[in-house]
Amino acid sequence: MMPQLRDWPTDRQDTQGNALFLRLPLAVCFLQVAPPRTTYHRSSGSLVRQWLLSTSILSVIAGYALLLGVNARFGSSQRTQSHQRLVAALRDPYSGNLDRIQIVKVWIEASGEQREKGFDVVWSGDRVLDANGKLTAVGNTVDVANATWTNSIGSPELIAAWTDPEFDASVSAAYYARVLEIPTPPWYAYDAFRFGIEIPEGAPTSQQERAYTSPIWYTP
């Protein structure tokens, strides 16, 4: 399978000023709950959580229209003992399946130290987190010689609701979602295949494309 060449769109905003950044033709929805070439958006809401989890990814993305009027910054009036997020992703039809979705939390300690921590939220297959909270690799189907791969691993869509296990209502924080595809060939593997040239020695023979959302902010 060879990806098609196309013009990729750039940054834009929706009608409410929420950032929409297009990197992969992969759809990512990141929502407050109290959802490489990517269309993503983030909003807030609490009444639609059960519907979002029980419906298709396309409906989740369409349902974003219901949430456009809600800001992506939250303060003490929205404070809860368990801060929740809902995230959903649909793969690019011309690229690899999805490996996992992560949520990255950034905050500043009382000492002024900047902190960052990533959480694996939902993933493909029957993998489980190990004793250290780490997830095993999804696998690799890349055929370097032919610059291709197969979607026999990964998942075409992922969706989950996630509760911050370390939420502290007194600490400002920001959250953003990161979506990883399964391994696919890097651009120079396609050049090597098309033009009959060698891949540079030591160069990686596969890569995991990923998409990032803009953050949801929490302020005490």
pLDDT tens string, the chain, 220 residues long: the values are 333 333 333 333 333 333 333 334 465 666 555 434 433 434 444 434 444 455 555 555 544 434 433 335 555 545 455 567 888 888 888 889 999 999 999 999 888 899 999 999 999 999 999 998 899 999 999 999 999 999 999 999 998 888 899 998 889 999 999 999 999 999 999 999 999 999 989 999 999 999 988 888 888 8
pLDDT for residue 97: 95
pLDDT, tens only, 128-181: 999 988 999 999 999 999 999 999 999 999 988 888 999 988 899 999 999 999
Q: Is residue 192 part of a domain?
A: no
Q: Is residue 207 part of a domain?
A: no
The amino acid at 162: W
Q: Is residue 21 part of a domain?
A: yes
User: Domain total for the chain?
Assistant: 1
8 A C-beta contact, residue 61 and residue 35? yes
Nearest to 205, CA basis, from 143, 139, 137: 143
Q: Is residue 191 part of a domain?
A: no
pLDDT for residue 67: 42
Q: Is residue 145 part of a domain?
A: no
Q: Is residue 74 part of a domain?
A: yes
List the beta bridge partners of residue 135.
none
pLDDT for residue 32: 56
In whole angstroms, give the CA distance from residue 119 to residue 65: 27
Q: Is residue 158 part of a domain?
A: yes
* φ, ψ of residue 3 in degrees (nearest 5): -60, 145
Range of the domain at 81: 12-130+151-178+212-218
Q: Is residue 203 part of a domain?
A: no
Is pTM beyond 0.75? Reply is no
8 A C-beta contact, residue 151 and residue 97? yes
Q: Is the four-CA dihedral 100, 38, 21, 185 of positive or negative sign? A: positive
